A and B are shown apart, each in its own frame.
Chain A
Amino acid sequence: MSDGVTPGSWLHQFTEEERRVWCEAHRIARDFQRHYWFAKHHYTALYDRFNALQAERRAPVNRLPIEVLFIIFDLTKEVLPNREAFQWTLARVCKRWRQLIMNDPRFVEVGPKVEHVAPKVEPIAPEQIACHDD
């Protein structure tokens, strides 16, 4: 420090004490990050489970297994307003139903739609053609 080299400079050399403090700080930060990551997932799982229990208490239909829900979904095809798009009505009810509908290829076409059309090419105008021989 006596020669004017600040700690930000690459010429700076840490003393043993500074090095120990920096290592300790990095270790604490790393441990905090790991702890925070686990805690976040832990509390997210708890929160989701609590919400699921609340939903089951509120609505008995949430207790039904998904295979029974799918039978109901199939049978609503004839009674919901639009026969061709009944799955979109069901998919807007709640997140769980939407997840079930959108992940089932019986209700939603999966995969990208490929248009079998040749790419359109604009014709070249004569004035765009430059002749360098002139």
Chain B
Amino acid sequence: MSITLISKEGAQFLVSKPVADRIGVVRDCAYGADFWLGYAVATDDSMGITLANVTSSILSKILVWCEHYKDMEPLVDGDSNMEFPEWDMAYIGHDMNQILFVLEAADYLHIPGLLLLACKGIADVLDGRNPRGICDLLGIVMDFSHRQEVDMDKENGYWRWFLHPT
């Protein structure tokens, strides 16, 4: 059995059931109604499931991950120093824009394993950076006034911690 996924641009992806099972939204669309209605709504191949917020390039990238984890259980929870497999880290890479799009799509499609992996990818790119570096990397505007920065220096003892970590 297979399911057709339709991306934002209208491109169609034919995926098998174990691959589609990794995507929470698709799983709910295809089989989730089974419990309530007594039958599955989207098991017919002719009717695809439209994923309106996911572009073709990102969807194809996500399907690679789903294909890899169709037989294995991905890491979905853990503490801050958990170790991901090497394949995962090579898959997510270091391209920040790409990771952010994957992260948005994983959140939209309800894929907790991929969401956690993308968060780990972002955290690894932020490795060893100071606030200014994080802003430059993510495109965030540091919107504090000078007075606020001075106050923050005082109240947190920030630079003492930053320069002389204990």
CA distance A129 to B78 in the complex (A): 67
Q: Please determine whether A94 and B140 come into contact, CB atoms closer than 8 angstroms.
A: yes
A contact face: mostly helix, strand, loop, or mixed: helix
**Complex interface residues of chain B between 86 and 127 (CB less than 8 A to chain A):** 97, 100-101, 103-104, 107, 115-116, 119-120, 122-124, 126-127
CA distance A88 to B101 in the complex (A): 27
The range of chain B's interface size is 35 or more
The range of chain A's interface size is 20 to 34
Contact of A72 among B104, B119, B166 (CB under 8 A): B119
In the complex, whether B64 has a CB less than 8 A from a CB of chain A is no
- Chain A hits for B161, CB < 8 A: 82, 84-85, 88
**Complex interface residues of chain A between 70 and 98 (CB less than 8 A to chain B):** 71-72, 74-85, 88-95, 97
The CB with the most chain B CB atoms within 10 A, among A61, A65, A90, A93, is that of: A93
Smallest beta-carbon distance A120→chain B, Å: 24
Q: Please determine whether B162 and A93 come into contact, CB atoms closer than 8 angstroms.
A: no
Q: Please determine whether B127 and A79 come into contact, CB atoms closer than 8 angstroms.
A: yes
Q: Please determine whether B97 and A60 come into contact, CB atoms closer than 8 angstroms.
A: yes
- Chain B hits for A78, CB < 8 A: 80-81, 123
In the complex, whether A132 has a CB less than 8 A from a CB of chain B is no
B contact face: mostly helix, strand, loop, or mixed: helix
- Chain B hits for A81, CB < 8 A: 128, 130, 162, 165
Give 30 A-B contacts (CB < 8 Å), ordered by A residue.
Answer: A58-B139, A59-B140, A60-B97, A60-B100, A60-B139, A61-B100, A61-B138, A63-B104, A71-B115, A71-B119, A74-B80, A75-B80, A76-B80, A77-B81, A79-B128, A80-B129, A81-B165, A82-B161, A82-B165, A85-B161, A85-B162, A85-B165, A88-B158, A88-B161, A89-B134, A90-B131, A90-B134, A93-B135, A93-B142, A94-B142
Interface residues of A (CB under 8 A from B): 55, 58-65, 68, 71-72, 74-85, 88-95, 97
